[in-house]
Structure 1
Amino acid sequence: MRPRSGPTVEHRVLAARLRKLRQHAGVSLQAAAVALGAHPATVRRIERAETGLDAHQVRVLLERYAVSDAEAEPIMAGIAAANLPGWWHAWRDALEPWQQEVIGIESSAALVRTWHPALVPELLRTPAYEAALRRSLSADPPSLGARHLELLAERQRRIEARGAALWALIPAAALHTTVGGPAVMAEQRAALEEAAQRRHLTVQVMPLDYPPHPMTGVPALHLLRVPAPEIGDRAVLETAGARVDIIDDPAAVMDYRIRLDSACAAAPHPGSPLPGAGRPAGSP
């Protein structure tokens, strides 16, 4: 079995189908485990995509659930692809487990919405901005920092290549927080202005003199939508102390979506000039 690097969406979809088939058949975790000759925790891990899919185990479970050959065939045919490591596996040494999970979902997301209360969101950062930020906030060795920059560039490239929609809400404070010096900020501002003109990118900036809005005080937030009915939307909340919560509860995700929708509605229309356009970066 390959080293774990977080499940791909293909893996998550098959795992979710197995869970739904078990529930539809009225088979308990315990009964499914008996069919496998295993512990119920094994079935639970299979259904949560926490372990690689074994073709023999999957076949036994499908037979226990009385799944027809026509319905079982595409599931069995998809096991090999589901077990392949995600493209981010090459950077596994530089990733925390939560990052592997987030990138696994992000890699198939049709829509990524992002907000940061004080900085340019990660997926819109230039290499120089990200490198300077990591030097300021992280004690990681330079070699690890370089790996993170490579990974970020690949994430950005893949989102662009597959035409996924990226919608970012940025507070104007992010453009006044000097990261890396005036030259780095000038390059970052230019990159944001260019990004705002791309077809699949939406950039909104909340001016400093606007009143509080529904995202005021909310930590960095990312909403991920995957076009697969088996996988619900995810909210990724980066809280204080480097804690990250990956939220899949539909009601909680909906609450954050409504908050972000309302804040975006209160912000200047996409395509509006960035605040302070024409002023040298880093100037007061």
Structure 2
Amino acid sequence: MDETKYENEPNGEGGAAQPFTTVLGAVLRTTRVKNGSGLREVGRAIDKHPAIVSNWELGSRTPLSEDVAGVLGALNVVGEDKTRIRNLAAVTTPGVVVTGRQDVPHYLATLIDCEAQAAQVTVWEPLLVPELLWEEDYARETLLAVGHAPERAARLADLQTDRRHLREQPLPITAYLGETALTSRAASDQAMCSQLRSLAQLNTSADEQVTVRVVPFSKITLHPGLASPWAIYSMEKRAIVYLGHVESGTFVDDQDRHYSRAADQLANKALSKEESTKALLSFAAKHALNQLEDRDGPPLASSLAEWTRR
């Protein structure tokens, strides 16, 4: 076995971890854990010290492509997962763009692997409910609304809603959503009612570590980090930012702390957890009333400002 100290392993740019290294490490660790193999077992199979393998998984060191191939062989990884992970290992740019036309999209599989290793996730979604908290009907209808074919929308909805149930331990999530998410017409009133009630239940559940907070329109400033949805995945060694697209996902570093500062702003401007729960339940009730009355228009209260006046 190679007993070289792991501090001397090559690591890209002068030893500084890169975003792709952290993502690749999280994927390798999740794959090994799923396989039921230990660090020593993998190290013996590829003739590397277990500490070296551990540092690859933590994103502290960058494995060579042949090292990744050896790990995949030791873990008997084949098919699309093998292709996806080897593609990650070939990345040399600071950010990682992962595409997703596969049956199980590579960007989603990579995201799920990162979630398995994250200690905390902070999500901002200005227009919709964050994907990480989707219910099945809301997921399917929203995916149809953004242009997916019915069969693919149903498949992706199943994958998205299974995400929270794949983890052995609850993942601490702080989700900020713009008030448009409460009145959006991307989904039916029935799906909206069920989704908003689910968010309120997560907010009050002792078994879940989820905090959902609503951000009023009037509180959203022109901060560059608030222009589009994002999620910050806090890993053991560093944080990675995920930017979702229709058929791909981008993993980047929080350069200049744009996203961290945006999260700080949201924490200061959002409704409290308790007030957010009340708003979620109130708008869920209004969607339910719309459904009973078979209305095609917006909910009875069209904004948080109107809701608070009532």
Deviations 1:218-246 (A, max 9, x none): 2110111123x3xx21101236x756321
Deviations 1:55-79 (A, max 9, x none): 68942xx5xxxxxxxxx25557995
Deviation at 1:117, TM superposition (A): 1.6
Secondary structure of the residue aligned to 1:105 is helix
Q: Under a length normalisation based on structure 2, what TM-score does the superposition of the two structures give?
A: 0.60
Match of 2:203 among 196, 200, 204: 196
Which residue of structure 2 lines up, in the alignment, with residue 37 of structure 1? none
Letter in 2 for 1:145: A
Q: Does 1:22 align with 2:22?
A: no
> Which segments of 5 or more consecutive residues in structure 1 lack a partner in the other structure?
1-16, 29-44, 63-71
Secondary structure of the residue aligned to 2:173 is strand
Letter in 1 for 2:299: S
> Which segments of 5 or more consecutive residues in structure 2 lack a partner in the other structure?
16-20, 33-41, 58-70, 82-99, 288-297, 301-310
Which residue of structure 1 lines up, in the alignment, with residue 258 of structure 2? 255
After superposition, the Cα gap between the structure-2 partners of 1:283 and 1:96, relative to the gap in structure 1 and judged at 3 Å, is same
Which residue of structure 1 lines up, in the alignment, with residue 147 of structure 2? 138
Question: Does the 8 Å contact 1:58/1:76 carry over to 2?
Answer: no
Question: Does the 8 Å contact 2:134/2:161 carry over to 1?
Answer: no
After superposition, the Cα gap between the structure-2 partners of 1:213 and 1:270, relative to the gap in structure 1 and judged at 3 Å, is farther
After superposition, the Cα gap between the structure-2 partners of 1:96 and 1:276, relative to the gap in structure 1 and judged at 3 Å, is closer
Deviations 1:168-202 (A, max 9, x none): 00001111112332111111111111111134111
Which residue of structure 2 lines up, in the alignment, with residue 245 of structure 1? 250
Which residue of structure 1 lines up, in the alignment, with residue 274 of structure 2? 271
Report the Cα distance in structure 1 between the residues aligned to 2:143 and 2:170, rounded to whole angstroms. 28
Which residue of structure 2 lines up, in the alignment, with residue 83 of structure 1? 75
Q: Does 1:226 align with 2:235?
A: yes
Q: Does 1:168 align with 2:175?
A: yes
Report the Cα distance in structure 2 between the residues aligned to 1:176 and 1:122, rounded to whole angstroms. 17
Secondary structure of the residue aligned to 1:148 is helix
Match of 2:193 among 181, 186, 191: 186
Letter in 2 for 1:260: A
After superposition, the Cα gap between the structure-2 partners of 1:141 and 1:276, relative to the gap in structure 1 and judged at 3 Å, is closer
Letter in 1 for 2:174: W
Q: Does 1:235 align with 2:267?
A: no
Which residue of structure 2 lines up, in the alignment, with residue 149 of structure 1? 157
Secondary structure of the residue aligned to 2:187 is coil
Report the Cα distance in structure 2 between the residues aligned to 1:205 and 1:157, rounded to whole angstroms. 24
After superposition, the Cα gap between the structure-2 partners of 1:56 and 1:192, relative to the gap in structure 1 and judged at 3 Å, is closer
Question: Does the 8 Å contact 2:45/2:74 carry over to 1?
Answer: no
After superposition, the Cα gap between the structure-2 partners of 1:109 and 1:81, relative to the gap in structure 1 and judged at 3 Å, is farther
Letter in 2 for 1:102: L
Q: CA RMSD in A?
A: 4.2
Q: Under a length normalisation based on structure 1, what TM-score does the superposition of the two structures give?
A: 0.65
Deviation at 1:19, TM superposition (A): 7.3
State, as a whole percentage, how many aligned pairs show the same letter: 16
Letter in 2 for 1:154: D
Match of 2:120 among 111, 133, 147: 111
The 5-angstrom pairing of residues 208-227 of structure 1 reads: 208-210=217-219, 212=221, 214=223, 217-227=226-236
Report the Cα distance in structure 1 between the residues aligned to 2:137 and 2:5, rounded to whole angstroms. 45
Which residue of structure 1 lines up, in the alignment, with residue 299 of structure 2? 283
Deviation at 1:103, TM superposition (A): 2.0
Deviation at 1:157, TM superposition (A): 1.2
Deviation at 1:152, TM superposition (A): 1.6
